[in-house]
Chains A and B, each alone.
Chain A
Amino acid sequence: MFFRVAFLVLRKDFAIEIKSREILYTTLLFAVSCVLVFAFALVKEGEAPPDAAPAILWIAIMFAGTLALGRTFERERYGETLRALLLAPAPRPALYVGKLLGIVLLLGVAELVLVPLVAFFFLAPFFAKPLLMTLLLAAGTIGFAAVGTLFAAMLMRVRTRDVLLPILLYPITVPVIIGGVRGTAALLASPADEAMATMWLAILAAFDVVFITLSLWTFEVLMTE
């Protein structure tokens, strides 16, 4: 029942998104412009500062993710469909999981574009250690999305939700940025420091477990008025 409902929510969001692809395209474009802005800001005489590539990648993911979170929940405001979802005869945290999966998939697609793009512009060998790189990206994205989905959902009733979401989200997801950037940078070093990357991966995984659990525990309470 639980995962069936989560999957139904995910499929519904997918069905809506596939029609216009509005959130997907605009998120992608935003992320790309983000990268370009950083490029112009940082590149001097044809070279970026060392370690700029991981930083730019993760910042672009976080900024694009914040926007995508806001817009995904904005969809549930028209017709107040979130209330209808809360009325489903399934445990309410299943809705959280469905939305979380949607955001993670969306950001995953964005990363499919961002990683080669940043690698290209900043000559960063992201594909040297593909497995660890993918795991790092996955763990970091899930951690960011776990906290972001909960906050975006709970802020839905708040008038100032657009500006409050980053204010709440960024300090709490700093470990994700640190872990993501440092872990990626470790993989880009020559020779690649797999031990360090694995350590950061472990920290990110622990973050994911803790915050998904906390979100599941608090979701229902936060969504009832």
Chain B
Amino acid sequence: MNDDFDSVRLTDVSRHFGRRRALARLSLAIRTGDVLGLLGPNGAGKSTLLGMVATLVAPNTGEVIYGDRSAQRWGPALRRHIGLLAHELHLYAELTARQNLTFFAELYGLNPRDVVDAALERAGLADRADDEVGGFSRGMRQRLALERALLHRPRLVLLDEPFTGLDDRSVSAVADRIRRLAADGGIVLLATHDLDLADGLVTRVALIREGRLLSDEPASTGLRGRYREVVGR
């Protein structure tokens, strides 16, 4: 039993909440080096899918296999390899940027001295390190949240709308970061509305509507056109 994995496979995964279908018999496979763009309208099930791959939501049917095992057989050690940046950002408003990063670093068994300062630098928040996060702008919190998610250098990186609230410079910085993550052997799942940003960044595209996977294909030019063609509207 090895300690890491190089692919994630979803097989016939379904999830409903009462009578509302969130995901319908979805099958996907991703491996290292992939930047998979999850594209679809609001309510398509992108966030549910990310939550499921992150082991926070259990499927009703089907399974998610990391490498050769399901999450249950992996146990807590699996989460060492997963980083999630969700819409809600997962930051404590009452703590400073440094305190937030230090807490999560220790939670993942890292020595804060090794990682926190570098992360603050990368987020461009080194001068605001000791200010409470509650006072940050959305863009600042977004950059900090991304660093928080990547602090433990996870293999599987799940990003839900990572570009929200970012200015141009930050957007290209984040996009470069994502490319580098995949090049270094990461598996990236990126859910976004921003087709222009996704275009040129993602290596594969999964088009989702109403919980159903409409298309799973390698990225090519003209993402917006392809999206309109498959998803409609």
Contacts and interface: CB of A to CB of B under 8 A. Distances in A.
Direct interface between A and B, CB < 8 A: yes
Interface of A: 1, 5, 8, 12, 15-16, 19-20, 75, 78-81, 83-92, 224-225
Contacts of A83: 56, 84, 86, 88, 90
Given A8-B103, A15-B99, A80-B88, A87 B93 contact: no
B92 A8 contact: no
A218 B28 CA distance: 31
Nearest to B93: A78
* Prevailing SS type, chain A contact patch: helix
Contacts of A86: 56
A46 B57 CA distance: 58
A20 B93 CA distance: 12
Contact of B107 (A78, A88, A92): A88
A81 B99 contact: no
A75 B57 CA distance: 22
A17 to B, nearest CB: 9
B135 to A, nearest CB: 13
B232 interface: no
B76 A92 contact: yes
Contact of A224 (B56, B82, B90, B104): B56
A14 to B, nearest CB: 11
B108 A16 contact: no
B166 interface: no
Contacts of A1: 109
Contacts of B153: none
27 contacts: A8-B103, A12-B95, A12-B103, A16-B95, A19-B94, A20-B94, A79-B91, A79-B93, A80-B86, A80-B89, A83-B86, A83-B88, A84-B84, A84-B148, A87-B54, A87-B55, A87-B56, A87-B82, A88-B76, A88-B107, A88-B108, A89-B76, A92-B76, A224-B55, A224-B57, A225-B56, A225-B58
Interface of B: 51, 54-58, 76-80, 82, 84, 86, 88-95, 99, 103-104, 106-109, 148
Nearest to A2: B76
A87 B77 CA distance: 10
Contacts of B109: 1, 89
Contacts of A87: 54-56, 79, 82, 84
Contacts of A12: 92, 95, 103
Most buried by B among A12, A15, A89: A89
A193 B215 CA distance: 75
A83 B78 CA distance: 15
Given A8-B106, A15-B99, A83-B86, A90 B76 contact: yes
Contacts of A16: 92, 94-95
A109 to B, nearest CB: 19
Contacts of B79: 87-89
A85 B91 CA distance: 11
Contacts of B99: 15
B90 A84 contact: yes
B7 to A, nearest CB: 20
Contacts of A8: 103, 106-107
Contacts of A224: 55-58
A78 B95 CA distance: 12
B95 A84 contact: no
B88 A79 contact: yes
Given A83-B88, A84-B104, A225-B51, A89 B80 contact: yes
Contacts of B86: 80, 83
A212 B76 CA distance: 21
A5 B92 contact: no
Contact of B90 (A15, A75, A80): A80
Nearest to B99: A15
Nearest to B85: A84
